[in-house]
Chains A and B, each alone.
Chain A
Amino acid sequence: MNAWIAFWNILRKDIKNYYLKPPNISWGIILPLSWTLMMFVRTPSPQAMDIRSLLPGLMAMSILFGTTSMLAVTITFERRGRSFDRLLLAPISMTTLVFAKISGAILFGAIIAFSPILFAAFIIDLSGINWGVAIASILLMAVTSTLLGLAIAVSAKEVFEAQTYSNFFRFPMLFLSGLFLPIERLPIFLQPISYCLPLTYGADMLNRAITQTGFMNVWLDSLILIAFSVLLFYYCQWNINRKRIF
Chain B
Amino acid sequence: MLTGLSRPSAGEIWINGIDGINNIKKAQSIIGVVPDESNLYDDMDGFDNLCFCASLYGMRKEEREKRAHELLEQFSLKNVGKRPFKAYSKGMKRKLTIAAGIIHNPKILFLDEPTTGIDVENARQIRSLILDMKHRGTTVFLTTHYIEEAERICDRIAFIVNGKIVKTGTVAELMENAGHEHIIKLTLNESANGIKNELQRNFPNLRIEVKGENACYIVSPVKVALSPILQYLDERGISVFEAKEIRPTLEDVFVKVTGIEVDKLQKEKEGGKK
Contacts and interface: CB of A to CB of B under 8 A. Distances in A.
Interface stretch (A32-40, A79-87, A205-213, A219-227): A79-87
Interface stretch (B40-48, B174-182, B201-209, B215-223): B40-48
Nearest to B24: A91
Q: Identify the interface centre among B3, B31, B53, B56: most chain A CB within 10 Å of its CB.
A: B56
A86 B31 CA distance: 12
Contact of A6 (B3, B26, B43, B55): B55
A89 B4 contact: yes
Residues of B in contact with A, size category = 20 to 34
B5 A13 contact: no
Given A83-B41, A85-B35, A92-B25, A6 B58 contact: yes
B6 A9 contact: no
Contact of B57 (A17, A90, A246): A90
A89 B52 contact: no
Contact of B58 (A1, A16, A88, A89): A1
Interface in B1-36: 3-7, 25-26, 28-29, 31, 33, 35
A91 to B, nearest CB: 4
A5 B55 contact: yes
A87 B58 contact: no
Contacts of A9: 52, 55-56
Contact of A81 (B42, B55, B57): B42
B44 A87 contact: no
Interface string A132-157: 00000000000000000000000000
Contacts of B41: 13, 17, 81, 83
A212 B29 CA distance: 53
A3 B29 CA distance: 12
B39 interface: yes
A83 B28 contact: no
A93 interface: yes
B37 interface: yes
A91 B4 CA distance: 10
Contact of B39 (A3, A13, A82): A82
B55 A89 contact: no
A242 to B, nearest CB: 9
Contact of A13 (B37, B44, B58): B44
A82 B34 CA distance: 12
Contact of A87 (B7, B40, B56, B59): B56
A117 to B, nearest CB: 31
B3 A91 contact: no
Given A13-B44, A17-B41, A91-B26, A86 B59 contact: no
Contacts of B25: 91-93
Contacts of B37: 82
Nearest to A13: B52
B58 A83 contact: no
Contacts of A8: 55
Contacts of A87: 56
A17 B37 CA distance: 21
A187 to B, nearest CB: 46
A96 to B, nearest CB: 10
Interface string A5-39: 11011100100110000000000000000000000
26 contacts: A2-B58, A5-B55, A5-B58, A5-B59, A6-B57, A9-B52, A9-B56, A10-B56, A13-B41, A17-B43, A81-B42, A85-B33, A85-B35, A86-B39, A86-B56, A88-B4, A88-B5, A89-B4, A89-B28, A89-B33, A91-B28, A91-B56, A91-B57, A92-B25, A244-B5, A244-B7
Interface of B: 3-7, 25-26, 28-29, 31, 33, 35, 37, 39-44, 52-53, 55-60, 100
Given A5-B60, A6-B58, 9 more contacts: A2-B57, A2-B58, A3-B58, A6-B56, A82-B37, A86-B53, A88-B4, A89-B31, A92-B56
The 5 closest A-B pairs by CB, nearest first: A2-B58, A9-B55, A90-B56, A91-B29, A82-B39
